[in-house]
Structure 1
Amino acid sequence: MAEYQSQYPELGFYVKGRHCKFSGGRYVTDDPAEIEVLNSIIDAVRVDEPKENESKSEEPVKATKKPVRKTSAK
């Protein structure tokens, strides 16, 4: 599910000849064609993260060893 916001409450756009528009500055869709068009609109900002990017960014963080402090030899 992709969610977009716009500063314009009823921003309209066309997808394959069909008119779509935001309602209250918000638009939610699952349609890949609509997502492609919305990604190209400057006034539409995606407010959720795409699932493909989430799976890549959720890689486990490897534990690292703390560096061993050496005493200074005087």
Structure 2
Amino acid sequence: MAVYNSKYRELKFYVDGELHAFSSGSFSTTDAKAIAVLDNLADATRVEEAKAEAKTEEAPKTKPKAPAKKSSGK
């Protein structure tokens, strides 16, 4: 999925005669034709290639530490 941002909140563009619009300055798509059009728009900037790739690059989780042992109450 490709994600694009625009300085205009509701930028609109056509792909094969079909109207598409940004919502709050953001637009996401998996359509190759829409991606080709957006890559050529001066007012649209590509932000993210794919969310799936970003999720796989997360830092490995570390094991939680064992709870501290209680001292004897002598």
Shorter-normalised TM-score: what interval?
A: 0.5 to 0.7
Match of 2:15 in 1: 15
Secondary structure of the structure 2 residue equivalent to 1:42: coil
Q: How many angstroms apart in 2 are the aligned matches of 1:4 and 1:10? A: 12
Instruction: Check if 1:46 corresponds to 2:72.
Output: no
Secondary structure of the structure 1 residue equivalent to 2:48: coil
Secondary structure of the structure 1 residue equivalent to 2:49: coil
1:28-52 superposed Cα distances (whole Å, 9 cap, x missing partner): 00000000000000000000136xx
User: What TM-score, normalized to structure 1?
Assistant: 0.65
User: What TM-score, normalized to structure 2?
Assistant: 0.65
Q: Percent identity?
A: 49
Match of 1:3 in 2: 3
Match of 1:29 in 2: 29
Q: How many angstroms apart in 2 are the aligned matches of 1:31 and 1:18? A: 12
